[in-house]
């Protein structure tokens, strides 16, 4: 398509439209860059039962989630995913802590198939009571 355009005699206002389009792209890129650094708001924990995952949101952005499966009173933690831009900021530990408390309230036993969950239980022995088979 671009090869068919006459670069020596472009259509009327083509240069102006291109310039305004390029400026708009620059503005949007700058706005996205500002949003990539979310403020230190309070994390919000949610159990998305439809997609079988626990989610942690920060200022409306999904920071991390843990996929799970349930059978009876057993909660199997399958995989922990931290979203790009939120890695290494401790949201994985916040999410796992909230999952442990939620499982305790619902009287569920934890099965940590996820390496991050197993490491969390190893580092925080106060939660091993929620994972009786893991001890």
Residue 47: per-residue pLDDT: 92
**Cα–Cα distance measured from residue 51 to residue 67, given in angstroms and rounded to the nearest whole number:** 8
Radius of gyration of the chain (CA): 24
Mean pLDDT of the chain: 84
24-33, 106-115, 121-130: least confidently modelled range: 24-33
User: What is the pTM (predicted TM-score) of this model?
Assistant: 0.67
Percent of the chain with pLDDT over 70: 84
Average pLDDT of span 105-125: 92
**Cα–Cα distance measured from residue 18 to residue 96, given in angstroms and rounded to the nearest whole number:** 49
**Cα–Cα distance measured from residue 54 to residue 43, given in angstroms and rounded to the nearest whole number:** 13
Average pLDDT of span 47-57: 93
Residue 79: per-residue pLDDT: 95
Cα–Cα distance list, 78 to 26, 30, 33 (Å): 40, 37, 32
């Amino acid at each position: 398509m671009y090869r068919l355009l006459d670069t020596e005699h472009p259509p009327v206002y083509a240069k102006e439209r291109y310039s305004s389009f390029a400026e708009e792209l620059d503005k949007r890129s700058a706005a996205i860059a500002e949003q990539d650094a979310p403020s230190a708001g309070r994390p919000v924990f949610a159990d998305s039962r439809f997609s079988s995952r626990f989610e942690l949101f920060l200022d409306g952005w999904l920071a991390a989630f843990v996929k799970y499966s349930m059978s009876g009173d057993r909660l199997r933690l399958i995989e922990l995913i931290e979203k790009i831009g939120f890695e290494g900021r401790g949201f994985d530990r916040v999410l796992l802590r909230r999952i442990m408390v939620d499982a305790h309230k619902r009287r569920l036993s934890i099965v940590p198939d996820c390496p991050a969950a197993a490491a969390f239980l190893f580092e925080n022995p106060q939660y091993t009571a929620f994972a009786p088979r893991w001890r």
